[in-house]
Structure formats: C-alpha cells, structure tokens
Amino acid sequence: MARHKVEICGVDTSKLPVLTNEEMRDLFRRMQSGEVQAREELVNGNLRLVLSVIKRFNHRGENVDDLFQVGCIGLMKSIDNFDLGQNVKFSTYAVPMIIGEIRRYLRDNNPIRVSRSLRDIAYKALQIKEQLMSKTSTEPTTQEIAKEMDVPQEDVVFALDAIQDPVSLFEPIYNDGSDPIFVMDQLKDEKQKDSSWVNDLAIREGIKSLNDREKLIINQRFFEGKTQMEVADEIGISQAQVSRLEKSAIKEMNKSVLEN
C-alpha cells in the first residue's frame, strides 16, 4: 500500500526512517561516547514516535507544526536522559516525556492566563501526586499532596483548578446512537429557580400542550434547576431518555407557542 506524503514542519513523514532495537542500542552507545551524528540519527529515527503522540491532541485545534516541534523537544530530552542500563524500551521511556512536554506547552499557552507562581504550585502538586501514587497505588487527596508540599490545601486546589483546560458546555459526553448528552445537561442552573420567566404566559401556554411526564421533566429541569441525572433518578428512567423527552418537549412547546 502506497504511503501518502504528509509534511509537518517541512518533514515528509512518509520517508521517516524506522530503527531496529539493535540499531537504537548501537546509536545510543555511540552518542554516549560523544558522537554528535549518532544523536541526530536517533532523533530522526524516532520522529514517528512524536507523530504518534501528537495524534492524541488533534481534538485541541492546535497547530500541528507547533505540537510537532514541542514534541521533538520532549524527544530530544528523552534521548539525552535515557539510560541504556535500564531494562526499558526507549519508546516506553520517551512517550511520557513527549506527552509531558506538549501538556506543558498547552498549559503555558492557555488563553486563560495563569500566573507563573500558580503554575509552579500546580506542576509540583502533579509531581507529588505521581510520586505518592507510585508508593501507595492509590490516588492521594489534595490534603495529602498539600501536606507533602508543606503548603495550604486551598493553594493546591486553586492551583490545580487554574491549569485545567476550559470545557465547552456543548461538548458531548455521552451518545447512545441518537441524541447526545452535553456538559450543560449535567449542570444545575440556580438562576433557573428565579420565577421571572415562569410568569410568561406564552411559556405557560406551551406547557399545556405537553403530557404529564414531559411537564414533570420541564418543571424539574427549568423551574427547579435540577440536572438530567437528578430527574432521571427521581422518575426512574435513564438520563438518555430524559434528554430525549426534554428535547421533544421543548420542540413541542415551541410549536405550540408559534401556533398561538
């Protein structure tokens, strides 16, 4: 099967070399003996590894060339720090480092600006978290992380929250093959408890066209501010069913209001 030519940063990815395990070990020995050319061959021979990693970040909408360059930095760091004496495949060692480099780039270039001090606390907290997990095989609490760092727990929570990527309210989180459930469907909206729009006569007329179950769902979702999951638990159906009934009810209400 013919390979398609795809260029990233001017590199024809279809022509990237693939090194055998023995070639890799030989190049590492030569590089660690001071041979500069061996290092270059190791970088070029593992660019496919960078390509495989950046595919994980395709949904982010980031420039592929930028991610590739950042991934290459992670690759070079892993090459420079790899220990041949350890019984570990180079790819096993390198992939986490490449991913880490890309994640740092994405965090530092987040449109929501986070101070350097907060980022430092957050990154340190993540390192401590990994260390504690490796010791106990369980995920540590923020209190345990804060104690290990000797900083207030509130600082750790705030710092970790600050580096989280923003999520669209319209990002689908579940799809059973029909209507998707979005992030916004999982959220309570306390403002909806305000009765300001409940008194709108057009809305009241629209609700009259619904059956009892649809009226119950609309009332709990938009007048009482409950989540779809809470409504589902209360009336004994799945969240996907609540989502479908809610959308159907809103459609029927809109139709009724327009006709009136």
CA proximity to 79, closest of 137, 13, 31: 31
- For 208, the token pair is 């009259």
The residue among 184 and 211 whose pLDDT is bigger is 211
Full domain range(s) for residue 79: 7-108
Same domain, 176 and 152: no
Q: H or E segment at 8?
A: strand 7-8
pLDDT tens digits for range 67-100: 888 999 999 999 998 888 877 788 888 888 888 8
Residue at 77 is within a domain = yes
The residue among 63 and 183 whose pLDDT is bigger is 63
- Rounded Cα gap, residues 208 and 195, in angstroms: 18
Same domain, 44 and 103: yes
Residue at 34 is within a domain = yes
Which of the listed residues 71, 86, 108 is the one where a domain comes to its end? 108
pLDDT tens digits for range 48-59: 889 888 888 776
- The number of distinct structural domains making up the chain is 3
Same domain, 13 and 99: yes
Task: Give residues with Cβ within 8 angstroms of 199, minimum separation 6.
Answer: none
